[in-house]
Structure 1
């Protein structure tokens, strides 16, 4: 098995860096349920929410 370390400064290709946060388990349960109701993962639900918030501020999201 090999371990490949990605250059975190690179913005071309590869996997996006992880974003970790702590939330109350009861809140996570609610968020999971809403994401599932929309047929998407919680991570995608957060990304869509963040993009929407940027657009409301007149900022076109990148990526």
Structure 2
């Protein structure tokens, strides 16, 4: 099996799990100070990019 379909499935399921986790944590963060909220949403909005980029590099076969 090619790496691309595996990466696609892993990426879709991983991103869905990430979104569920962030939304669940966001419910708790919304009760905190605005500065903590800002840091949380800044990190939550950008941290997904590192594993996604690693997954794309792996799928392309450029370990």
> Which structure has the higher relative contact order (CA within 8 Å, separation 6+)?
2
- TM-score normalised according to structure 2 size: 0.30
Higher normalized helix content (fraction of residues) = 2
Task: Give the TM-score normalised by structure 1.
Answer: 0.30
